[in-house]
């Protein structure tokens, strides 16, 4: 293996074992800066901007503003999902592969969690009109998501002026964690109720790429529950149909 690649792998292993694992086990979240470096970071940013300009990002949630009848709806986040194999997403794919490698170096050391696969990547943009994302838990009910991983892409971000801070409220802790969505910053945190979080109102365009890593056991269980639910609801559907038919007689 070429020397530089070997060096990269050593750095990644060090980041995983000496920083990410201890921080996740102790605080429940961890972020690092300069993850890809200026050049590759810019390539990812360029591809995300390209997606934004070409209208690929679809309106996410409606961010209601004000109350009562004059409920003026400001457009909230815009998102799209990429697997990284689409046209003009090579740099995003490189990022995803690197994060996959980083997570695979942590596996076996994250307690009982066995992580084998992940979601597609969610590319998100807050338009900078004051929209944010209300306080929530990513995975409150055991849908299988174990670790949330967010890569931020915002150059010269100044929270005082632009807002857009991610505030995590670590469960059972007396402090909150305010994380600025800075360019080339990678953040990881447990997706479950340990980490309620909010995106504060953003006053400049705010880009991020998120992937969720699944705990294979919890994911399999969640799929089983979903299959039962859909089977059950189809039974209810046919029962209602029988009732209607009986009433029609
Ligand atoms: C756009 N956006 C999000 O930004 C966050 C989120 O927690 N973001 C944290 C952040 O960007 O710092 C989400 O968790 C989320 C979940 C479903 C759909 C869209 C979503
Ligand atoms: Mn979230």
CA angle 40, 45, 50 (to 5 degrees): 125
pLDDT tens digit sequence for 4-33: 888 899 999 999 999 999 999 999 999 999
Q: Name the pTM for this structure.
A: 0.91
- Cβ–ligand 1 distance for 197 under 6 Å, the answer yes
Please give the share of the chain, as a percent, with pLDDT higher than 90.
Answer: 82
Q: Please choose from 157, 210, 211, 212 the residue to mutate so as to test ligand 1's pocket, defined by most ligand atoms within 8 A of CB.
A: 210
Q: What is the pLDDT of residue 191?
A: 98
- Sheet order of strands, 133-136 included: 133-136, 197-199, 166-168, 177-179
Ligand 1 near 16 CB (within 6 A): no
Question: What is the model's pLDDT at position 230?
Answer: 87
pLDDT of residue 64: 55
pLDDT value of position 73: 64
What are the tens digits of pLDDT across the range 125-150? 999 999 999 999 999 999 999 999 99
Query: Using a 6 Å cutoff on CB, does residue 165 contact ligand 1?
Result: no
Mean predicted lDDT score pLDDT of the chain: 93
Residue, of 192 and 236, whose pLDDT is higher: 192
The CB of 92 under 6 Å from ligand 1? The reply is: no
Read off the pLDDT of each residue in 155-165 and give the average, rounded to a whole number.
Answer: 98
What's the CA-to-centroid distance between 127 and ligand 1, angstroms?
13
């Amino acid at each position: 293996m070429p020397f530089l690649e070997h060096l990269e792998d050593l750095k990644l292993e060090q980041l995983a074992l000496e920083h990410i694992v201890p921080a996740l086990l102790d605080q429940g979240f961890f972020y690092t800066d300069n993850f890809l470096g200026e050049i590759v970071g810019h390539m990812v940013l360029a591809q995300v901007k390209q997606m934004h300009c070409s209208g690929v990002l679809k309106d996410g949630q409606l961010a209601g503003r004000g109350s009562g009848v004059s409920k003026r709806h400001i457009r909230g986040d815009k998102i799209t999902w990429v697997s990284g194999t689409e046209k003009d997403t090579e740099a995003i794919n490189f990022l995803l592969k690197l994060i996959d490698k980083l997570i695979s170096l942590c596996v076996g050391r994250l307690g009982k969690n066995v992580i084998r696969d992940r979601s597609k990547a969610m590319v998100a943009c807050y338009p900078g009109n004051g929209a944010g994302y209300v306080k929530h838990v990513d995975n409150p009910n055991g849908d299988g998501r174990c670790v949330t991983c967010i890569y931020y892409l915002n150059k010269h971000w100044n929270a005082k002026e632009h807002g857009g801070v991610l505030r995590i409220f670590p469960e059972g802790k007396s402090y909150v964690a305010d994380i600025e969505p800075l360019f080339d910053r990678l953040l990881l945190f447990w997706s479950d109720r340990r980490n309620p979080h909010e995106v504060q109102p953003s006053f400049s365009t705010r880009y991020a790429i998120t992937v969720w890593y699944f705990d294979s056991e919890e994911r399999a269980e969640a799929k089983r529950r979903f299959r039962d639910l859909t089977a059950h609801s189809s039974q209810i559907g046919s029962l209602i149909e029988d009732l209607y038919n009986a009433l029609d007689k």
